[in-house]
Amino acid sequence: MNATLPREQPGRTVKGHSAVLLPILGGQVDWQSFEKLLVDTVESGIIPAVNMDTGYVQILTPETVQLVLTRTREILGPDQPFVAGAFVDDRPEDDFNADAYHRHIDTISREHALPIVFPSWGLCGHNDDEWLNSMTRIGAVCDRFLAFELSTTFVSYGRIVSLAAYESLLGIRQCIGAKHSSLERHAEWIRLVVRDRVRQEFIVLSGNDLAIDMIRWGSDYLLGLSAAWPEAFAQRDKWFASCDPRWNTLNDALQAFGDFAFRFPVPAYKHSIAQTLFLRRRIASPCSHPHSSRRPDSDFPILKLLLDRIERAVHA
């Protein structure tokens, strides 16, 4: 066994989380479709995450961000867990805005949701020591939170920290897990090795939509890809937990879709998700947010072929 690689863990129960798309109709939020997507996610057994990149959190007004949060709790009821992004809009020269993060985290916590600390210039634009100090300050004002490593492939202010900084993060007890979105297997593998050695209860949430089989090595997940068909991901997870070989076929079908949806430019994946949900008749419009990246309409026949493959695998 290579000491730099985690061991495979067949038959484990996977903790699935899915970023929920914020549907757009006529340039405005389609709240009716949003409710449908939330319910679909929860009924599949996957924990929803709102106000994430998939939900356009970076380009929403503060009022809409708040509406997403409060409506999510209203729709799901008092007991259903969900994750919500704490995002601070700042500029490249800004320092870490602790007060703004604390306000967002407090608002999320009041809705009994789990905050995930979204990257910003002030949080990620400095060195690892300052990043770690900022995470420590966040831990001092809340009971629990998730950290978030996000590649600059997604946003210009993203950051993938050093392995030493990651290991130090595990020493912040209020940080119960971290989403890792480098889109690189090895970077996630070595984080799993550190987790298994230092703090086994720490949750490594894979954000690698180009390698959704990272669950084999002990990652759980918080994906944007799963927003397109949470029920299919839930079925895959059940088959994986029961060592049913059908999980491989379904995983391969979902990965083929992921490779297409997350092709360059990667941020346009959100439009691919909207197109897919429209084809699946889960939302009323295939449009993405007016200020987000777009995919061509010529994607539709390819998406249809990919969805047909997933459908066959789900019902195998």
Q: Per the domain annotation, does 86 fall within a domain?
A: yes
Farthest CA pair distance, the chain: 54
* pLDDT score of 272: 99
Mean of all residue pLDDT scores within the chain: 97
Q: Which amino acid is at 74?
A: E
Per the listing, tokens 């979902």 go with 254
d(CA 87, CA 65): 9
Q: Per the domain annotation, does 104 fall within a domain?
A: yes
Least reliable range by pLDDT among 3-7, 119-123, 130-134: 3-7
Q: Give me the CATH number covering residue 222.
A: 3.20.20.70
Model confidence over 10-57: pLDDT tens digits? 999 999 999 999 999 999 999 999 999 999 999 999 999 999 999 999
Q: Containing H/E element for 50?
A: strand 47-50
Average pLDDT over residues 156-184: 97
Nearest CA to 183 among 295, 262, 293, 268? 262
d(CA 65, CA 127): 29
Model confidence over 174-202: pLDDT tens digits? 999 999 999 999 999 999 999 999 999 99
Q: Per the domain annotation, does 286 fall within a domain?
A: no
Structural domain total, the chain: 1
Binned at pLDDT 50, 70 and 90, residue 4 comes out as confident
* pLDDT score of 265: 96
Q: Containing H/E element for 148?
A: strand 145-150
Contacts of 304 (CB under 8 A, 6+ apart): 279
* Residue 69 in tokens: 């949060």
Q: Per the domain annotation, does 232 fall within a domain?
A: no
* pLDDT score of 19: 99
- Terminal CA-CA length for the chain: 34
Binned at pLDDT 50, 70 and 90, residue 136 comes out as very high
Q: Per the domain annotation, does 149 fall within a domain?
A: yes
Q: Per the domain annotation, does 296 fall within a domain?
A: no
Q: Which amino acid is at 276?
A: T
Q: Per the domain annotation, does 292 fall within a domain?
A: no
Q: Per the domain annotation, does 178 fall within a domain?
A: yes
Residue 3 has pLDDT above 70, yes or no: no
Range of the domain at 29: 16-227
Binned at pLDDT 50, 70 and 90, residue 82 comes out as very high
Buried b (16+ CB within 10 A) or exposed e, 272-309: bbbbbbbbbebbbbbbbbeebebbeeebeeebeebbeb
Supply the pTM of this predicted model.
0.96
